[in-house]
Homo-oligomer: A and B are copies of this chain.
Amino acid sequence: MPTYNAPLDDMLFLYEKLRNNKNYNELEKYKEVTSDLVKNILEEAAKINQNIILPLAKSGDENPTKFENGIVRTPPGYKEAYKKFIEDGWTSLSCDTKYGGQGMPRTVSAFFDEMISSASLSFKLYSELSLGAYNCINHHGSDVIKNKFLPKMVEGKWSGTMCLTEPVCGTDLGLLKTKAIEQQDGTFKLTGQKIFITSGDHDLTENIIHLVIARASDSPKGTKGISLFLVPKFIVNDDGSIGPRNGISTGSIETKMGIKGSATCVLNFDEATGYMIGPKNKGLSSMFTMMNLERIVVGIQGLGLSEIAYQNSLNYAKERKQGKSNKNNSQNGNADFIIEHADIRKSLLNMKSIIEGERALCFWLSQQTEVSLNHNDIKIKQEASDLVSLMTPVVKSLFSDMGMEITSDAMQIYGGYGYTKDQGIEQLYRDNRITPIYEGTNSVQAIDLVFRKLVNKNGDIISKYIKLIKSDLNNIKNDKIKPFSQKLNIYIDKLNDFSNWIKEKINTSKDDANAACNDYLKVLGLVAVAHSWIKVLEVSYEDYESNKEFYEDKIQTANFYFNRVLPRIESHYLSAITGSEYIMNFKFN
């Protein structure tokens, strides 16, 4: 079974040292969230993830969630762990104190999301969607609904889901068929089938609060006729007690490649009672409040699985002797630890430089998210919101794809042992394989980025972002960072050219933009991670003497990223700008 040590040093470094963010520091809401408090929280988080949740990964893979006689049963150990999990208040970490939450910022809760993704993604999913549903209800629900449902959800006694997908509609929600018929009392009766519903049914909570998109009987076709409904598994009485079972049944659960401890359900709604959330026919935009935050969390899942894969392959490389390194002159077959071999070291540094860069980017994005939600100045709020919108598909796709690369490279370091079930490394790879798919496939993210996020009603967001990075680079005072910033400048110019090319193509040849969008997302992502490394480098040089070993590690890891990872941009750019005419004209047999 893989081992796991939460990367507390790196997390606390980011929290304490990367706070040179004026807008974030102005937020009244988090003035009392001190470094000491955060340190305590993260240390406790490390304990529960390392000791209680980590073993659930293997348990869930070996004893997948079962569907028996209409009931979904989670794997052995899940119930006990979930009880402890909610008792210790982990479901409430980032929730509003008004409903019993702890009111921590995303700059803290994102670290928790990473840790629990490392420990057991399957187990994480039972509370993750609850938080998504919580956010959505909190933003769009009426006070009556909020007071009735949120406290129990924050407490973790009730969980939540997001019910979007149907058999003929995944990416394309305009095709949905689930109907909602309004009743005289203002409630609705929902009928239809939803599929791929994560935590759609299970035995961990007393109630499950489904957020369901459906079409009211008098609504138009397509995406403009979709409304959002809250549909509880059990009706909740006015006094808050659990009432009768609602008209929802579980049709089946999926047998999957990975995350086998997670229940992925087919849910049948048969005149189930629902309450409309937010305005009629605006369901998609309400749902996307939650989807966007959720997409960032999927990126963090990829980061978490990358981290545990890295840790274990590093340990293995230090223990496994095989082959002679180039420094070994022994003639009698003495082998070196494989960490002495240049190509193994390269592979490990590749993982480390991506992981730590991603974590820094994610921290910056968490700061921006909080500014976008809580800043008093509307202009600042809007600008932060645009940056979050821009980076959401990037983080979701880049981190999940890198998670595939890193979990695969970790397996490769184990050789044949990596392919067996004993080591648990292959499970990380299988578990991570869902992340480029769910919450909108990575291609959907790339299309969203290119067609909706680069330029929006507030202006040319990507140009503002590029200017922001350039201005950061121009303001660097330490000459030691020059070699890094010079390299990044080359690639920012490439990003700029690529952005101009793609903005033109959006108007003149949408297919060119579409065929280039995945490459474009990667280029933007690689630059964004490099930008985050620059921020880390600034602190590292400035603060060098206080913790030489730590900062030297950072500087050298960044150096690897700039030498070996950033040049990937070249190939993405060169291949993307060949256009799409020859692709669109191709006749597939």
**Chain A contact residues, CB within 8 Å of chain B:** 165, 168-172, 174-175, 195-196, 221-223, 254-258, 314, 318, 321-324, 326, 331-333, 335, 339, 341-349, 404, 408, 411-412, 415-416, 418-422, 426, 429-430, 433-434, 436-438, 441-443, 446-447, 510-512, 514-515, 517-518, 549, 552-553, 556-557, 559-560, 563-565, 567-572, 574-575, 578, 580, 582-589
Q: Is there contact, CB below 8 Å, between A412 and B442?
A: yes
CB < 8 Å: which of B169, B347, B411, B585 contacts A433?
B411
Does B412 lie within 8 Å of A170, measured CB to CB? Answer: no
**Chain B nearest CB: distance from A199 CB in Å?**
15
Chain B contacts for A556, CB-based, 8 A: 582, 585-587
Contacting pair B221 A322 (CB below 8 A)? no
Inter-subunit contact B342/A584 (CB<8 Å): yes
Given A255-B422, A568-B575, check contact A343 B553 (CB 8 Å): no
CB A278 to nearest CB in B, in angstroms, measures: 21
| Contact B322 A222, beta carbon cutoff 8 Å | no
A587 and B514 alpha carbons, distance in the complex (Å): 43
Q: How far apart are the CA atoms of A586 and B563 in the complex, in Å?
A: 14
Which of B170, B342, B436 is A583 in contact with, Cβ under 8 Å?
Answer: B342
Question: 4 tightest A-B contacts by CB?
Answer: A222-B333, A342-B514, A174-B333, A326-B510
Q: Which of B323, B420, B443 contacts A254 (CB 8 A)?
A: B420
Kindly provide the distance from the CB of A203 to the nearest chain B CB, expressed in whole angstroms.
22
Q: How far, in whole Å, are A368 and B469 apart by their CA atoms in the complex? A: 53
Q: Please determine whether A434 and B412 come into contact, CB atoms closer than 8 angstroms.
A: no
Q: Is the CB of A169 within 8 A of B322?
A: yes
By a CB distance below 8 angstroms, the chain B residues around A326 are 510-511, 514
**Cα(A347)–Cα(B517), bound, Å:** 12
Of A342, A411, A518, most buried by chain B (CB within 10 Å of CB) is A342
Min Cβ gap A436→B in Å is 7
Interchain CB contact under 8 A, A575 and B563: yes
**A322 with B515: CB separation less than 8 A:** no
List 9 other contacts, CB 8 Å, given A560-B582, A560-B583: A174-B333, A222-B333, A255-B422, A342-B514, A343-B443, A343-B515, A347-B443, A419-B433, A567-B574
B-side contacts of A420, CB under 8 Å: 254-257
Provide the bound-state CA to CA distance between A244 and B223, in Å.
74
B511 with A335: CB separation less than 8 A: no
Which of B254, B570, B588 touches A314 (beta carbons < 8 Å)? B588
Partner among B174, B222, B415 whose Cβ is within 8 Å of the Cβ of A441: B415
Which residue on B lies nearest to A257, using beta carbons? B426
Do A343 and B419 have beta carbons less than 8 Å apart? Answer: no
Residue among B174, B257, B342, B574 making CB contact with A515, cutoff 8 Å: B342
Residue of A196, A349, A419, A422 with most chain B CB atoms under a 10 A cut-off? A419
Among B169, B437, B585, contact of A418 (Cβ-Cβ < 8 Å): B437
Contacts of A518 in B (CB 8 A): 343, 346
Alpha-carbon separation in the docked complex, A586 to B420 (Å) = 30
CA distance A517 to B346 in the complex (A): 11
Contact of A447 among B256, B343, B404, B584 (CB under 8 A): B343
B residues near A447, Cβ cutoff 8 Å = 343
Q: A415-B170, A436-B412 given as contacts; is B586 within 8 A of A515 (CB)?
A: no
With both chains docked as a complex, state the minimum distance between the C-beta of A554 and any C-beta of chain B, in angstroms: 12
Contact A426 B415 (CB under 8 A): no
Q: How far is the CB of A118 from chain B (nearest CB, A)?
A: 17
Distance between Cα atoms of A415 and B254 in the complex (Å): 14
Closest CB of chain B to A448's CB: distance in Å?
Answer: 12
Contact B574 A335 (CB under 8 A): no
Contact of A437 among B172, B257, B333, B412 (CB under 8 A): B412
